[in-house]
Amino acid sequence: MRGVTVGAMRDLSSVVVEDIDWTVAPGEYWVIAGLQGSGKSDFLMMTAGLMPPANGDYRLFGEPMPIFEESRLAERLRLGLVFETGQLFHHLTVWENIALPLRYHQNLSKADAAAEVQPLLKRMDLEAWADSTLGALARSWQKRVGLARALILRPDVLLVDSPLVAMDLRHANWWMDFLDQLSKGHELVGGRTMTLVVTTADLRPWKGEKYRFAALRNKHFAVLGGWSQIETERGELVRELLMTGARGS
C-alpha cells in the first residue's frame, strides 16, 4: 500500500485511516493493533478488497485492488478473510457453510466437496456439528466455522479480524496454536507457509519475535516493527494495548 486512505464501510466518505505505507512480504505474520473504534475492521475489509481505498495505491500480488473482474478471480481467491463475528450464512448448516465457496467456484456437488470439507471439520473439532444450523453453536465455535470457510480454498494470505475476542482460554490457545501452524505451513493448505494478518485490541497474547507489529491510532497507521521494538518503545498506545496504563506492568 502506498499513500492509501481507508473509508468507513458504512460511509466511504468518512476517513478512518489515512496515508498508509505498508508492504507485506510472503510468509510474514503481522499483528495490527488498535483500540476499539480505531478502524481495525474497516482497514481489514479494505485489505480484503470489499471496498476500494479512498485514495492511494493498493496492490495484492502485483494486481491493483479491489478485484471484481472474473478474469482476475484466481488472484482474488488467494486471499481469505475471517470476520470478527463470523458472518456465517444462517440458512446453511455448518457443513454447507464451509463447503459453499469450494462448491461455488469449482462447481462441485456435495459428494465431490466432501473430500475437502471433512479434514477441515476434523481439524476444527466441528464434526459433531456438521449437520447443525448455526443457532446450535456457541460464538467461539461459529468463529472456527468462519475460519474453515476461509481456508477451504487454500488461500496464500489470511486476514483474521480480532481472532481472540470473547474467547475463553481454551479457545484462545487453540487459535494461537492453529494460526502459528498456518504461518509455518499446515497440511490442510498443502504444507505451504501462509501470510497472516490479524487485528487485535490487546497485545498481551502476541508476545514473540515471530510477529511484526503495526498500530492504528488517530487515523494513522504506524509500523512498529518486532516485539523487541515494542518493548523498547512503550509509548502511550503500546501501554494501553498491553493493558498496563498508569498502574504499570
Footprint on this chain of another protein (rule: CB under 8 A): 9-10, 45, 48-50, 73, 76-77, 81, 83, 85, 87-91, 100-101, 103-105, 107-110, 149, 153
| H or E stretch at 20 | strand 15-20
Residue 49 beta carbon to another protein: minimum distance, rounded to whole angstroms: 8
- Closest to another protein by CB, 145 vs 203, is 145
- Closest to another protein by CB, 105 vs 207, is 105
- Closest to another protein by CB, 85 vs 132, is 85
Residue 170 beta carbon to another protein: minimum distance, rounded to whole angstroms: 26
SS3 of 59, please? strand
| Residue count (the chain) | 249
CA distance 225 to 10: 31
Residue 190 beta carbon to another protein: minimum distance, rounded to whole angstroms: 19
The answer to whether 99 touches 117, Cβ cutoff 8 Å, is yes
Residue 48 beta carbon to another protein: minimum distance, rounded to whole angstroms: 6
- Cell digits for 190? 498443502
- Cell digits for 59? 496492490
Residue 153 beta carbon to another protein: minimum distance, rounded to whole angstroms: 8
- Closest to another protein by CB, 73 vs 138, is 73
Phi first, then psi, for residue 153 (nearest 5°) are: -95, 10
User: Cell 512503550 belongs to which residue?
Assistant: 234
Nearest-5° Cα angle at 143, 145 to 98? 15
- Closest to another protein by CB, 29 vs 83, is 83
- Closest to another protein by CB, 59 vs 110, is 110
- Closest to another protein by CB, 85 vs 244, is 85
Residue 93 beta carbon to another protein: minimum distance, rounded to whole angstroms: 14
Question: Using the 8-state DSSP alphabet, how is residue 185 labeled?
Answer: -
Residue 114 beta carbon to another protein: minimum distance, rounded to whole angstroms: 13
